[in-house]
Amino acid sequence: MRLCKRYRVLRAKGKKQNKIMTAIARELAGFVWAIAREVSAVASKDGYPQALRSMRAGHLR
């Protein structure tokens, strides 16, 4: 909803379509990046990356 509103506001200001899409895409990418960092931090705390390394090495079959 928030990005839709942002699109409409930028469009109403007369911004070009390419510039609007780039702005929306950057905001969305930032949001996804923040979620990925949060998930990564939780996974690191639980030892998940170590388990993945062990699986790749063939230790957890």
Tokens of 25: 């895409």
42/28 Cα distance (integer angstroms): 22
Domain total for the chain? 1
With a CB cutoff of 8 Å and minimum separation 6, the contacts of 11 are: 20
Which of 3-7, 10-14, 48-52 is predicted least confidently? 48-52
Domain boundaries, position 49:
2-57
pLDDT at residue 24 greater than cutoff 50: yes
Which pTM was predicted?
0.61
pLDDT at 36: 86
DSSP string, 13-38: TT--HHHHHHHHHHHHHHHHHHHHHH
